[in-house]
Amino acid sequence: MELGVRHLSSLLGALLLVAPAAKSQGRQPSSGDLTAARHLFGEAADLEARSEWSAASVKLKSALAIKETPGLRYHLAHCEEQLGAFVEAAVDYDRAAELIRGGAPAPDVEPLLPLARRRLESRIAKLDIVVPTGISAAAELDERALAASALGTSIKLDPGVHQVVVRAAGHAEYRAFVSLSVGEHRTLKILFPDPAPAASSAAPRGAVATAPEAPAAPAPKTWPAEAGERRSSGVRTAVLVGEAVLSAVGVGIGAGFGLARPGAARRVHAAQANVPGDSQVCANDAQGACAELGDSIATYRRDVHLETIGFAGAGVAAGLFAATWAFWPSARAEPAITVHPAAGGAVLSARGMF
């Protein structure tokens, strides 16, 4: 039913290419331009039917450069939605609705827009970046500067990993990677360290210098912001990502060959059924059914072996991930593993952040 509605929408959308636009910008497209736009739309509809969303988007954008219609905007938004570009899709759905309100006829598209917008609202992720009161900060999201008014409001984003950088005068730079799932709404509270008190550069006039009775112990370091510490945190993140990827690859390999193993077993049974008489007959016969049986057994053993390797590798990578997470501190921690001398040997102690 959905496929039929999509094809009907494609046909009616093509007809809308020749309809007059309510608000035209620049020169009106010629008949040759409209023919080219209809041809591009037809190609895009064929690509959509084959779920080739990226290629269809290119065709639709070329057609929109000739003439903008609600049908073209709707189809472009649909392709973007399938590609996971939910924010861009929402903009194009809204543009299609705006064209319809402006008088552009689109009887095939208009009833579909409310459902599409509700569907996207449930899938778009949102991020609130909140800085402490009284601090003037500048923020970047995915290496693009945010307007000051965006701080403290819900920023619409596609699901996935996003980089957040916040800077404020007198404070260390805040940098983090935030992973958002489909429809997730998260608040990111930025915590800056208190600025260190400024030391007096000169004694008050008239003060008498006196020697201290005992040297004061150095104050503990409460918030280091050296570049080396930030580099260590970045290396830790890279190691965690690498171990997670290795674990996922191992699971994929194990699962893939695990799914293939039953088929290989069935081929072994089928080949055994084709061997005449006792299976010992294949001891001196490497042709025909015996050769097929040998190949089937070799394939089955390979699948079992690679399945085992895949899951074992995933387990090792997961263990390394857990160890890195536990014993490699993310910030301002003492060494996680220490050795203390003791009577008759030494004591090994481990400490991590959980």
Residue 70 lies in a domain: yes
Same-domain pairing of 101 and 131: no
Is 280 a residue whose pLDDT tops 60? no
List beta partners, residue 167.
138
Query: Residue 344: what pLDDT?
Result: 55
CATH number at residue 129: 2.60.40.1120
Instruction: Give the count of domains, the chain.
Output: 3
Whether residue 270 sits in one domain with residue 233? yes
In a domain, 203, yes or no: no
Report the pLDDT value the prediction gives residue 230, as an integer from 0 to 100.
59
Residue 344 CB partners (closer than 8 Å, separation 6+): none
- pLDDT band at residue 345 using 50, 70 and 90 as cut-offs: low
CATH of the domain at 50: 1.25.40
Does the pLDDT at position 5 exceed 60?
Answer: no
- Tell me the average pLDDT across 74-103: 94
Q: How far apart are alpha carbons 105 and 21 in whole angstroms?
A: 9
Task: Give the DSSP per-residue string, 42-111.
Answer: HHHHHHHHTT-HHHHHHHHHHHHHH---HHHHHHHHHHHHHTT-HHHHHHHHHHHHHHHHTT---TTTGG
User: In terms of domains, do 15 and 108 share one?
Assistant: yes
Select from 89, 121, 153 the last residue of a domain: 121
Most confident range, picked from 31-45, 228-242, 291-305, 338-352: 31-45
Q: What is the DSSP letter of 281?
A: G
Based on the fold, state whether residues 58 and 14 are members of the same structural domain.
yes
The pLDDT assigned to 3 comes to 39
pLDDT of 27 strictly over 80: no
Domain of 318 in residue numbering reads as 228-339
In this structure, are 110 and 16 located in the same domain? Answer: yes
The whole-number average pLDDT for the span 55-79 is: 94
What pLDDT digit, counting tens, does each position of 198-219 carry? 544 444 454 444 444 555 545 4
Give Cβ neighbours of residue 293 (< 8 Å, ≥ 6 apart). 268, 271, 272, 274, 275, 279, 282
137 and 73, same domain (yes or no): no
Same domain, 74 and 101: yes
CA distances from 31 to 13, 34, 72, 98 (A): 17, 5, 18, 25
Return the pLDDT at 44.
Answer: 93
223 pLDDT exceeds 50? no
Quick: pLDDT tens for 107-118. 898 999 999 999
Last residue of a domain, one of 143, 167, 193: 193
Residues 17 and 115 in one domain: yes
- Give the pLDDT score at 48: 93
Strand partners, 187: 128
Residue with tokens 């299976």: 279
**Residues 259 and 320 placed together within one structural domain of the fold:** yes
The confidence score (pLDDT) of residue 95 equals 94
109/131 same-domain check: no
Q: Is there a domain that residue 175 lies in?
A: yes
pLDDT score of 1:
40
Does residue 114 lie in a domain region?
yes
Mean pLDDT, to the nearest integer, of 269-274?
73
Q: Is the pLDDT of residue 9 over 50?
A: no
The answer on 167 and 69 residing in a single domain is no
Higher-confidence position of 100 and 322: 100
Please state, in angstroms and rounded to a whole number, the distance separating the CA atoms of residues 265 and 205. Answer: 94
- What pLDDT sits at residue 348? 52
Q: Are 128 and 153 in contact (CB under 8 A)?
A: yes
pLDDT at 287: 61
Q: What is the pTM of this model?
A: 0.47
Residue 204 forms part of a structural domain: no
For 149-160, the pLDDT digits (tens) are 888 889 999 999
In this prediction, residue 72 carries a pLDDT of 93
3-state secondary structure of 284: coil
- With b for 16 or more beta-carbon neighbours within 10 A and e for fewer, the 268-293 pattern comes to beebeeebeeeeeebeeeeeebbebb
Average pLDDT over residues 244-263: 83
**Contact yes or no for 40/62 (Cβ under 8 A):** yes
Boundary of a domain, candidates 193, 219, 237: 193
- In this structure, the answer to whether residues 112 and 37 fall within a common structural domain is yes
- Mean pLDDT across the stretch 220-240? 61
Which ranges of 86-213 does DSSP label H, i.e. alpha helix? 86-101, 113-121
Compute the distance between CA of residue 27 and CA of residue 18 in angstroms, rounded to an integer: 15
**What does the mean pLDDT of the chain come to?**
76
User: b/e map of 333-352 (b: 16 or more CB within 10 Å)?
Assistant: eeeeeeeeeeeeeeeeeeee
